[in-house]
């Protein structure tokens, strides 16, 4: 009897692993095939970005990459939803469709910030209220455990809106937004696999597949494409959706080690968008005295460009620092969660300030002129 149970467990795990690999490959293949079509249509209909003083590129580039990301993810999830019988699929797809059409309109015709926020609020409320995908417990962070329903809904709504727009703000150079999305979806997907939430792992791996195909074209010299607001809103929404589902678990066990600091793990993976958004909003409000929603070139990745780093070098550097912060969060698991929060904040600020510290210590000291 025990042998049969072990065999069934092994067989089930094998099916789960095949499902994840298939989801990744299917999403990667679909998006890889669709991207050239979107690029061709974009040039044919002149749906390309205009060059301005904020541009870090020298050629006009299509901005509708989010269409391919959306199609790849939706087709992949449609293929799996009946198998896993997920009750959350219908509300998730409804939210993604709203963000998709709103993003396409913004990429083609431009939407006001008010209309975008309204659409994001509707998309978030659909999954919060219908599927109950919300933050219900802070695991002792700031001394807070369970949240009452109203506070939970409001905090969850703020989290969705903040993470969507924070992710959108880092989409300023080649590869950066895609790489952060891939790192996040890989780690969270593996974690969902270990706690047997396979449908959520499938979402993570399908997102990773679509973003990997996007990176190929985003770095291309001859078939370059941007994800645009369509892509950044969809990916940002999925990251926030998966984050909230992830921290809804009391803990995860990998091997013989249990991790209960799930909010800290999410924070470490999303730290760069988090700190860049806080920094840029503070700078615009208190120093520049202007609207925090007006675009400028004061993001951290823009500052790194001024140090003569290339897009690929900046993307690699920020991805490496994100991974370093993630592994740091794992080592802090046994500490009090508030101490972990303080440590990760201090480490994150230090890690992402390091390039500027080194610049002032070595380059500026030697009086090398930076363009």
Query: Does an H or E element contain 252, and which?
Result: strand 252-254
Q: Is the pLDDT of residue 369 over 60?
A: no
**Quick one: pLDDT band at residue 365, thresholds 50, 70, 90?**
low
Question: Once rounded to an integer, what is the mean pLDDT over residues 109-114?
Answer: 86
Any idea what DSSP says for residue 137? B
So what's the pLDDT on residue 9? 43
Mean pLDDT in residue range 97-101: 97
* DSSP result, 59-93: S--B--HHHHHHHHHHHHHHHHHHHHT-TTHHHHH
Alpha carbons within 13 A on the beta-carbon side of 43 = 12
> CA-to-CA distance for 322 and 304, rounded, in angstroms?
16
Question: What is the number of other CB atoms lying within 10 angstroms of the CB of residue 68?
Answer: 27
In a domain, 16, yes or no: no
Taking the C-alpha atoms of residue 216 and residue 197, their distance in angstroms, rounded to an integer, is 29
Complete DSSP assignment for 102-131: HHHHHHHT---HHHHHHHHHHHHHIIIIIS
11 within a domain of the structure (yes/no) = no
Yes or no: say if 178 and 214 are a contact pair by the CB < 8 Å rule: yes
Query: Given this model, what pLDDT does residue 3 score?
Result: 42
pLDDT of residue 113: 86
Element (H, E) at 95: helix 89-108
Residues 279/280/284/287 CA torsion (nearest 10 deg): 40
Q: Which of 230-234, 301-305, 356-360 has the lowest mean pLDDT?
A: 356-360
- Lowest-pLDDT range of 53-62, 165-174, 308-317: 53-62
Separation CA 285–CA 288 (nearest Å): 6
> How far apart are the C-alpha atoms of 73 and 209, rounded to whole Å?
9
Give the pLDDT score at 99: 97
Name the residue range of residue 303's domain: 21-49+60-363
Q: Decide if 7 is inside a domain.
A: no
Mean pLDDT, the chain, rounded, equals 88
Mean pLDDT of 245-269: 89
The token pair at 367 is 């009086």
Query: In this model, does residue 137 exceed pLDDT 60?
Result: yes
Helical pair 311-331 and 176-194, crossing angle rounded to 10 deg:
30
DSSP per-residue string spanning 177-239: HHHHHHHHHHHHHHHHHHTT-HHHHHHHHHHHHHHHHHHHHHS-SSS----HHHHHHHHHHHH
The residue among 355 and 223 whose pLDDT is bigger is: 223
- The model's confidence at residue 52, banded by pLDDT at 50, 70 and 90, is low
- At residue 11 the predicted structure's pLDDT band, cuts being 50, 70 and 90, is low
pLDDT tens digits, 248-258:
988 888 777 78
Burial environment of residue 93 by CB neighbours within 10 A (0 to 12, 13 to 18, 19 or more): middle
Residue 98 domain-assigned (yes or no) = yes
Q: What is the pLDDT of residue 213?
A: 97
Distance CA 260, CA 139 (A): 8
Q: Is the pLDDT of residue 295 over 80?
A: no
**Percent of the chain's residues with pLDDT above 70:** 89
The two structure tokens encoding residue 288: 């520049």
Give the range among 54-68, 137-151, 195-209, 319-333 with minimum mean pLDDT: 54-68
The answer on pLDDT for 243 being more than 50 is yes
- Rounded CA-CA distance 27/318 in Å is 25
| H or E stretch covering 254 | strand 252-254
Q: Cα–Cα distance between 43 and 61 in angstroms, integer?
A: 8
pLDDT(18) > 70:
yes
Q: How far apart are CA 64 and CA 129, in angstroms?
A: 30
pLDDT band at 87 (very low <50, low <70, confident <90, very high): confident
State how far the Cα of 329 lies from the Cα of 331, in Å rounded to an integer: 5
Q: Are 180 and 272 in contact (CB under 8 A)?
A: yes
- pLDDT given at position 2: 40
Between residues 198 and 56, the one the model is more confident about? 198
Report pLDDT digits (tens) over 143-198: 888 999 999 999 999 999 999 999 999 988 999 999 999 999 999 999 999 998 99
Q: Is residue 370 part of a domain?
A: no
Is 267 a domain residue? yes
Q: Phi and psi at residue 257, in whole multiples of 5°?
A: -110, 130
**CB neighbour list of residue 365: distance below 8 Å, 6 or more residues apart:** none
Q: Model's pTM, two decimal places?
A: 0.91
Whether pLDDT at 4 is above 50: no
Residue 274 falls within a domain, yes or no? Answer: yes
Instruction: Name the band, by pLDDT with cuts 50, 70 and 90, for residue 293.
Output: low
Spatial distance between the Cα atoms of 13 and 271, rounded to a whole number of angstroms: 32
The count of domains in the chain is 1
Quick one: DSSP state of residue 49? P
pLDDT band at 368 (very low <50, low <70, confident <90, very high): very low
In a domain, 97, yes or no: yes
């Amino acid at each position: 009897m025990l042998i049969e149970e072990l065999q069934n467990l092994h067989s089930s795990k094998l099916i789960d692993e095949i499902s994840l690999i298939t989801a990744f490959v299917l999403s990667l293949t679909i998006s890889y095939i669709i991207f050239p079509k979107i690029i061709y249509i974009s040039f044919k209909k002149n749906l390309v970005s205009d060059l301005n003083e904020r541009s870090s590129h020298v050629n006009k580039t299509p901005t509708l990459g989010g269409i391919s990301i959306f199609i790849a993810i939706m087709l992949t999830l449609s293929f799996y939803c009946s198998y896993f019988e997920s009750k959350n699929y219908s509300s998730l797809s409804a939210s993604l469709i709203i963000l998709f059409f709103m993003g396409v309109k913004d990429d083609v015709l431009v939407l006001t910030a008010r209309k975008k926020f309204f659409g994001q609020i509707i998309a978030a409320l659909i999954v919060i209220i219908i599927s109950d995908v919300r933050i219900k417990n802070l695991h002792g962070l700031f001394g807070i455990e369970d949240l009452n329903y109203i506070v939970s809904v409001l905090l969850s709504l703020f989290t969705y809106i903040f993470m969507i727009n924070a992710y959108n703000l880092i989409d300023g150079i080649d590869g950066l937004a895609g790489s952060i999305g891939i790192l996040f979806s890989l780690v969270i997907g593996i974690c969902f696999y270990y706690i047997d939430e396979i449908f959520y792992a499938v979402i993570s791996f399908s997102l990773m597949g679509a973003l990997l195909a996007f990176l190929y074209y985003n770095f291309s010299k001859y078939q370059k494409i941007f994800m645009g607001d369509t892509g950044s809103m969809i990916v940002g929404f999925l990251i926030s959706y998966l984050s909230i589902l992830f921290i809804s678990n009391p803990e995860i066990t990998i091997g013989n080690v249990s991790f209960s600091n799930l909010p800290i793990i999410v924070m470490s993976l999303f730290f760069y968008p988090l700190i860049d958004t806080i920094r840029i909003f503070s700078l615009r409000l208190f120093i520049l005295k202007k609207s925090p929603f007006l675009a400028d070139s004061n993001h951290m990745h823009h500052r790194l460009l001024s140090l003569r780093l290339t897009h690929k070098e900046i993307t690699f550097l920020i991805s490496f620092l994100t991974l370093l912060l993630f592994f740091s969060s794992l080592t802090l698991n046994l500490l009090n969660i508030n101490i972990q929060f303080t440590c990760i904040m201090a480490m994150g600020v230090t890690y992402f300030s390091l390039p500027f510290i080194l610049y002032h210590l070595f380059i500026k000291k030697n009086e090398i002129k930076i363009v």
